Amino acid sequence: MGLHKGNTAQYELRDGSKIAVLGGGPTGSFFSIFALKMAKMMGKEINVTIYEPKDFTKDGPGGCNRCGGIISELLLQTIAVEGITLPDRVVRKGIHSYKLHTNHGTVFIATPAFEKTIATVYRGGGPKGMAGGETESFDNFLLSRAAAEGAIHVPLRIERVESRGKPVLFSQNKEVMEADLVAGCFGVNSTTGKIFEEMGIGYKQPSTSTAAIAELAMTEEAITECFGNSIHLFLIPDKDIKFAAMIPKGQFVTLCILGEDLSPSIVREFLERTLVKSVLPSSYSIECSCLPRMNSGAARRPFADRVVICGDAGSTRLFKDGLGGAYLMGKAAAKAAVFQGVGEADFRREYYPVYKSIIYDNLYGSFLYAVIGQYRRWKYLTKAMIEVVRKEQRDTDNTEKILSNILWDMFTGNERYKNVFLKSLKVRMHIDMWEGLFKSLLRRDDAER
C-alpha cells in the first residue's frame, strides 16, 4: 500500500480518480493546485473538477466574495516558494503601517519588519465599474492557476450530493459526476453547507457572526492624502463592534466592521462618528455594502469517507488572515488525500491535526480580543496603551517594541495567536503599561484640581 497505512486500498487515489471540488475560491483553488502537484509527484494522473458558478472577473455583487482582502507578506513569500507568484496587477496597494484610532488618541504603528508588511487585493472584480481595467481579482488569478495545473472549472452550482458507495453530484436534478472524493471548499455565506449536513455524515456548519463591509469611492488623490499606505484601525467603546478597519485599494477604500450580529444601519452610523469623519475626505460615496457572515467557530465532523471540508466551511483563523487559512487547510486536505487516502481514517490521521491546530490557536485569539475589548472600554487603559505605543514608535533604539508588535500581529496574518499571546507575557510591556496608566491617572487628578 505504500504511504497508505491503516486503511483499505479502496480509498487510495489511483490513475483516473475523480475529485469534485465544491467552491472555486482560494481554498478550492489551493486544494486543487496542491492535489494535482502532489499526484504528479506520485506519478499519478487524477482528474480535478472545480464547481464554481460565480464569475470572479465580474465587478459588483456578481463576482464579490465579501471579504476585506488583506494578504500578508509571509503568505506571499510562502506561495512564491510553491511556484505561485502574485503579479502586480492583482495587488491593489502595499501596506506598511497602521493608524490606530481611539476616542482618546491616535497613534501610528509602522511595520515591525519588511517580511511583516501586507498587501490589499480584491477577491472579485471589485466595486461596480471596475471591470475591464488592467487589474485582476485574487480569486480569479488563483482559479486560473488551478486550471493551468490541470483542473477543470465548471460554472455549475451543485445542489445535491448522494452517497452510493461513492459520492454522486447533482445539478438541476441531473447527475453530473460520480466522484472518488468531494472536497467542500465553500464559504459560510454559501448554501452549500446544507448539502453536506443532509448527507448524514455528521457535518455541522460552523457558528458565525455578522460583519459589515462597504466600499467607499473617492479619488486616488484623496486616498493618497488621507490614507497613504496605511490601514486605519478603529478601537472604540462600542459593545457591538470589536474593531473596524479602513483598507485603501486604488480608487476605493474597503470598510470592514467586525462585531456581533451587526444591523443594516451600522455602516452609516459608523461613518457619522466624529472620530471617523476626521479621517475621511470631505467628498466620498458608499458604492456598496453588505452584511456577510464570518466563521467564529469550527465546524463539527469536517470529513468522512470520500468527503473532506476545509476553509471557511471548516476551520479558519479567527477574524484575520482568511487567505492564509485557505492556503493552510487546502494544502493539508490535498496532502492527506494524495499521500494517504480519502477514507475517514486517513483524514482523521493526517488532516485533523492541522484542523485542530487552528481551533486551539483561535482560543488564544479569543482571549486576546477579550483583553483588547477591556482596553477599548476603559478610557484610562486606552490612554495607557496609546502612551506606550507612542513611546515605542519614538524610540528608534528599541528594536522589540512589544506592544506595537502585538497590535500589528493581532490584525495581520503574520503570526499565530499563540505567539502573540506569548509576547504579551513579557514583563517589560507590563511595566510600561503600568507606567502609562499611572500617568493617565495623574493627568486626571491634575485636571480635577
Model pLDDT for residues 159-218, shown as the tens digit of each residue:
999 999 999 999 999 999 999 999 999 999 899 999 999 999 999 999 998 899 999 999
Write down the pLDDT at residue 8: 63
More confident residue, 226 or 122: 226
Q: Are residues 60 and 144 in the same domain?
A: yes
- Averaged pLDDT for residues 267-283: 95
Tell me: pLDDT of 448 over 60. Answer: no
Q: Are residues 243 and 351 in the same domain?
A: no
Nearest to 240 by CA among 215, 216, 269: 269
Domains held by the chain: number = 3
- Give the range among 62-76, 307-321, 407-421 with minimum mean pLDDT: 62-76
Q: Are residues 403 and 347 in the same domain?
A: no
Q: Are residues 162 and 240 in the same domain?
A: no
Q: Are residues 183 and 213 in the same domain?
A: no
Assess if residue 305 is contained within a domain. Answer: yes
Return mean pLDDT, the chain.
90
Q: Are residues 64 and 25 in the same domain?
A: yes
Write down the pLDDT at residue 320: 85
More confident residue, 70 or 351: 351
Tell me: pLDDT of 376 over 80. Answer: yes
- Exposure letters 364-398 (e unless 16+ CB within 10 A, then b): bbeebbeebeebbeeebbbbbbbbbbbbbbeeeee
State the pLDDT confidence band at 410, using cuts at 50, 70 and 90: confident
More confident residue, 67 or 367: 367
Choosing from 338, 362, 386, the residue where a domain stops is 362
* Number of helical (H) and strand (E) elements in the chain, helices listed first: 14, 20
Assess if residue 97 is contained within a domain. Answer: no
Nearest to 436 by CA among 375, 377, 384, 360: 384
Choosing from 266, 294, 322, the residue where a domain stops is 294
Tell me: pLDDT of 445 over 70. Answer: no
Q: Are residues 226 and 307 in the same domain?
A: no
CATH number of the domain enclosing 168? 3.50.50.60
Tell me: pLDDT of 438 over 60. Answer: yes
- Averaged pLDDT for residues 334-341: 97
Q: Are residues 289 and 223 in the same domain?
A: yes
Q: Are residues 379 and 330 in the same domain?
A: no
Assess if residue 92 is contained within a domain. Answer: no
* One-letter amino acid of 387: E
- Decide: 208 and 260 in contact? Cβ < 8 Å: no
Domain, as residue range, for 226:
208-294
Which DSSP string corresponds to 335-391? HHHHHT-SSHHHHHHHTHHHHHHHHHHHHHHHHHHHHHHHHHHSHHHHHHHHHHHHH
Assess if residue 203 is contained within a domain. Answer: yes
Choosing from 310, 338, 362, the residue where a domain stops is 362
C-alpha cell at 257: 466592521
pTM recorded for the entire structure? 0.92
Assess if residue 241 is contained within a domain. Answer: yes
Q: Are residues 280 and 190 in the same domain?
A: no
Tell me: pLDDT of 33 over 70. Answer: yes
Q: Are residues 176 and 304 in the same domain?
A: yes
Write down the pLDDT at residue 435: 83
Q: Are residues 57 and 180 in the same domain?
A: yes
Assess if residue 269 is contained within a domain. Answer: yes
- Measured CA to CA, the distance from residue 27 to residue 183 in angstroms comes to 10
Write down the pLDDT at residue 361: 96
More confident residue, 31 or 133: 31
Q: What percent of the chain has pLDDT over 90?
A: 64
DSSP 40: H
Write down the pLDDT at residue 132: 55
- Measured CA to CA, the distance from residue 414 to residue 411 in angstroms comes to 9
Express each pLDDT in 220-256 by its tens digit: 999 999 999 999 999 999 888 888 999 998 889 999 9
Assess if residue 432 is contained within a domain. Answer: yes
Assess if residue 74 is contained within a domain. Answer: no
Chain CA centroid to CA 25, Å:
12
